[in-house]
Each structure stands twice: as C-alpha cells, then as structure tokens.
Structure 1
Amino acid sequence: MYLFIFSVLLIIFQYVNSKSIIDKYEEDIKTFKSKIAENEKVVTALEDQNFELNYFNIDRNEDALSYFEAQGYNTDQLIPAIIDGLYKMNDYEGEEHPIVPYVSMTDSKLLINKIRILNHRWIVANFTDGEYWGEIFVTYSIDEENNLKYKLVEYFMYPKLG
C-alpha cells in the first residue's frame, strides 16, 4: 500500500513538474515566434530600402549591362576596370588631381574615396583631402582601342562648417 501511495505521489509530482516545464517552453516558443515575426518585418523593410538605394547602380541596370554585352564586353571585368581607372587617378604627382578640379587645402592629397557607376555613361564619386570634401559627376566612354576615357561634367566642394 505504501508503495502504491508513493508511486502515485511520484507520478503526480512528475506530472506537475513536466506540465510547468512544457508551459514554460510553450511561452518561450510564443516569445521567439513573435520576435522572429518582428525580425522578418525588419528584414523585409531593409531589403526594400536596399533595393531603393541601389536603384541607380549599374549592377541593377539591365539596359546598361545589355549595352556593354551587345558591344562584346564582359561586364564582370569591365565594371571593376572602370572603377580601378578612377582610383588609379589617385596616384598622381604634384598638387593637381587628374580629374578633380580642386587643389588640396591641407597637407594631404585630394583622393577619390567612393565611386558609384550609375549606368553605361555616368559615374558619381566623392573626394576628400581629409578635411574638405566634395563630389564629381563624370561621364566615361570606351574608345576604339578599348581605352577608358573619363570626362568631368559637374563638380562641387562642400563648404567647411564651423
């Protein structure tokens, strides 16, 4: 009889203990599901924002890529070559940058920092000497000998604040 009562008490204890553990797990699952739903909304919003920010980018411009492919260029090699061509202009002697129409007002050289190729003709880039900075709008083309030619179209330097 004592064994039976002890067994029943043990079973009741295990049932109550298991039920509380299961209830806690179910609550944790609900919490994690709500956090996952919130994070999925954030990811979707960030993906939409990323799509909008990359709208003016040659990687997303099928017409510009098709233009180069129709002329027989491999865009996987051409696009880095276009970017490298502008960055190579940062290696210059003297005070005048080959494409930036300003002279550094500090002891540093003017350097192109960031480049965005918009399409098969236009580039936007920013430059700085460490203290002053600005942006340039450049067109580019490829001549008969497959040389890249850059032409400065528009430029500005931000005024120093303070």
Structure 2
Amino acid sequence: MKNKIFMYLFIFASLIVVFQYVNSKKILDASAKRMDSIKILNTKLKDSIAIQKEELSDLSLFDLRYNQEAQDYFYAKNIDTDSLIPFVKNELYKLNEAEGEHPLIPFAASEGRKMQFNTIKMLNHRWIIADFSDGQYWGELLIKYFMVGSDDVEFEVLDYMLYTR
C-alpha cells in the first residue's frame, strides 16, 4: 500500500513537472517572439528619428536663433538676439490690435472678423515669415524688417498670398 502511494505521488509529481516544462516553453517562445518584434520596431523608430533629426537640422538653417551670420549682424550693432526675437514678434502681434484694417495684411477680413497674425518666424536679420487668418480665410506674408535704434522696428511687406478654398 505504501508503494502505491509513492508511485501515485511520483506520477503526480512527474505530471506537474511535464506541465510546468510545457507551460514555461510556451511562455519563453512567446517572449522571444515579442522581443524580436520589439527589436524590429526599435530599429524602425531609430531610423525614423535619424531622418527627423536630419529634417530638423535643415529647418534650423532658416531660423534666426541658429543663423550665426544673422546674429553677428546684430552683435555688431550691440543688439541682443535673445531679447530681439520676442520684441519683434510682440511688435507684430501689437499690430493685431490696430483699429480698422490690419496695417500689414493686405486682405479684407470676412464679415464681423479681423485678420490677425497667428504664428511668426524670424528667418534671419532681414526677413520674417508670418501666417495670418480671420478664422475663415488664411494666408502668409513675407516681411522685411529694420531695427531703428534698439527699441523701434519698421516693417515692409515683400510678398503675400491668400490660400484658396
């Protein structure tokens, strides 16, 4: 009788070990498969990031913050570009508050609306590109700017366009 109990315990223990082995093997195979797919995704994402970095470095060529020659122009005039950029942008945004038609945007707004600058990007020491909208129509301006002294700026619209619907 004791031998039968030991035999049943041995068979039961053997079945548990076989079950654990099969279950662990399935888990390890699934983990390996998931790890391979993660490695492939990681490689794709790294390639994507490399491409985006290259595109961003190309875009930084047209930004006053990264254009050393344009910064040197202001440095020679003792003008700090870190404070100049927000100053010029604020001067343009102040024009949004002008009564009547916008002084720089050459398009009339829709009924009951007003053309206003949305985003402004300073390209270098002479040019600004800005987009504008009245909520229904939108367009872009290429603006030439001049610093008059250290606290005054003049704007001249070089070209403009209004997107069609």
| Common topology (TM > 0.5) | yes
Q: Deviations over 1:49-74 (max 9, x none)?
A: 33334432222312222332343333
Shift of 1:48: 2.6
Counterpart contact for 2:104–2:157, Cα < 8 Å: yes
**Which of 46, 52, 60 is the matching residue for 2:58?**
52
Decide which moves more: 72-81 or 41-50.
Answer: 41-50
Structure 1 runs not aligned, ≥5 long: none
TM-score if structure 1 supplies the norm length? 0.81
Counterpart contact for 1:136–1:154, Cα < 8 Å: yes
SS in 2 for 1:27: helix
Per the alignment, residue 100 of structure 1 pairs with 105
Which is higher, the Rg of structure 1 or of structure 2?
2
Q: Provide the aligned C-alpha RMSD in A.
A: 2.3
Q: Deviations over 1:91-111 (max 9, x none)?
A: 0112x3222233335321121
Could you list the runs of 4 or more consecutive aligned residues of structure 1 that deviate by over 6 angstroms after TM superposition? none
**Which of 133, 151, 154 is the matching residue for 1:128?**
133
Cα separation, 1, equivalents of 2:29 and 2:52 = 35
TM-score if structure 2 supplies the norm length? 0.80
- The verdict on how the C-alpha distance between 1:133 and 1:9 changes in structure 2, with shifts beyond 3 A counting, is closer
| Higher helix proportion | 2
2:37 is the counterpart of 1:22: no
Per the alignment, residue 84 of structure 2 pairs with 78
Counterpart contact for 1:68–1:74, Cα < 8 Å: yes
Aligned length: 159
Cα separation, 1, equivalents of 2:75 and 2:45 = 39
